[in-house]
Amino acid sequence: DAGVIQSPRHEVTEMGQEVTLRCKPISGHNSLFWYRQTMMRGLELLIYFNNNVPIDDSGMPEDRFSAKMPNASFSTLKIQPSEPRDSAVYFCASSLHKNTGELFFGEGSRLTVL
Amino acid sequence: AQTVTQSQPEMSVQEAETVTLSCTYDTSESDYYLFWYKQPPSRQMILVIRQEAYKQQNATENRFSVNFQKAAKSFSLKISDSQLGDAAMYFCAYRTHSGGGADGLTFGKGTHLIIQP
């Protein structure tokens, strides 16, 4: 069974540009999470969805960040406009609701904003 | 809010020896999950072991075992017969079981494990 699939694996962009990160969760999982990992702050939960509905976006840094989940098999995290401090690895993870509690992670998208 | 603390930024162990990574957490809940995840240089987050708080028996997965002390809010990971492939960042994580467990993981800052050949 395919795991969580993220794209792109690497993204280098210039300050002010729009960045879109994509995620396909594991089929049948109904909870999806976006995390950001930096050396300074570690792993931070940005937002999560349950049955495609955003439940808690209190971790989203500011209005430049937005996330959508138009259907059960696809989610995007968008940054517009991007800034150098957004440089990080962004992980998407999914979980089968009321299962073992385990989150399954994608391989992450490394974003570099110049 | 729950917090997870890993007090050892870095640990080093000789190949084939045993090492224990520490983790403590703070919560007012009685039912929750605890995890150890491994992140090698490839950056993939890999589940190592899980523990459900209502289970008294410590979880074991091959060379990996935990010492879960619920009253002390401690959840340490023991790696026996360390192998070079165990070298990685190890993250302790907490997840609430309330509301069906859809609240994500709270992570510690991680412990960098070095395996000396």
Spatial distance between the Cα atoms of A86 and A17, rounded to a whole number of angstroms: 12
| CB pair distance less than 8 Å for A42 and B33 | no
Nearest to B90 by CA among B3, B9, B1, B2: B9
Partner residue opposite B102 with nearest CB, options A35, A42, A97: A97
pLDDT digits 0-9 by tens, B31-44: 889 999 999 999 99
Spatial distance between the Cα atoms of A53 and A69, rounded to a whole number of angstroms: 7
Residue B100 has pLDDT above 60, yes or no: no
The tokens of B57 are what? 């028996």
pLDDT digits 0-9 by tens, B10-58: 999 999 999 999 999 999 888 889 999 999 999 999 999 999 998 889 9
Spatial distance between the Cα atoms of A108 and B10, rounded to a whole number of angstroms: 23
Q: Which residue has the higher pLDDT, B99 or A71?
A: A71
Residues 6+ away with beta carbon under 8 Å from B35: A101, A102, B47, B48, B49, B50, B51, B92, B93, B94, B95, B105
Asked if B75 contacts B65 with a C-beta cutoff of 8 angstroms, the reply is no
Which chain B residues are within 8 Å of A48, Cβ to Cβ?
102-104
Residue A1 has pLDDT above 70, yes or no: no
Count of residues making up chain B: 117
Residue of B37, B38, B105 to mutate when probing chain A, most A C-beta within 10 A: B105
Count of residues making up chain A: 114
Positive/negative CA dihedral, B81, B86, B88, B90: negative
Residue A98 has pLDDT above 70, yes or no: no
Residues 6+ away with beta carbon under 8 Å from A7: A21, A22, A109
Q: How high is the pLDDT of residue A56?
A: 85
Residue B4 has pLDDT above 50, yes or no: yes
Alpha carbon separation from A34 to A52, A68, B4, B95, B101 (Å, rounded): 13, 11, 19, 15, 16
Residue A66 has pLDDT above 80, yes or no: yes
The tokens of B117 are what? 């050949």
